[in-house]
Amino acid sequence: MGLKETSKFISLILRHRPEAAGITLDEHGWADVQELIRGINAAGRYRLDEKLLEVIVRTDEKQRYSFNEDHTLIRANQGHSIPVDVELEKKTPPAVLYHGTGEKYTASIDEQGLIPKSRLYVHLSSDPETAKKVGSRHGRPVIYTVDCAAMTEDGYVFYLSANKVWLTKNVPAKYLRKSGEE
């Protein structure tokens, strides 16, 4: 298996199903590196060692993972569907952020806004190009502009993950505008 497939399996383990490698995460989402490596190798489909794990973390284009200082622990930076506290710091967002989705989801979003569904947070992008790339994964992309200035003024809280993805608990429809709408 290649790096990309191994990275996806690591993402599954660290964000959604640590039991797939027979490991547990602490309350902050950290996994012991040696336990992760043993668990992945025992699962039988992928071969992993410390050197390969270092390469995966360093070269991941979305910067999904972080090590602690001495590289004995690893965690996913965001995107969890299991309850963990990745110790996000509250940040003031720019006046607008963007959310990319597939066209098939717009009716629901227009009605109920952006909700995290199976994840802990709604993910927002700093630029429309990234949002379009994300939306393209779900069919024909639709980009929403999020009025973060109004949300912040109304008391909504935002976080910036280690890999520069903006996160918030939800975005009501009144703060959304579809690209092209004025």
Q: What is the pLDDT of residues 66-89, one digit of tens each?
A: 999 999 999 999 889 998 988 888
pTM of the predicted model, to two decimals?
Answer: 0.74
Separation between Cα atoms, residue 149 and residue 175, nearest integer Å: 9
pLDDT of residue 178: 94
Domains assigned to the chain: 3-76 (1.10.10.970), 96-178 (3.20.170.30)
Low-confidence ranges of the chain (pLDDT < 50): 182
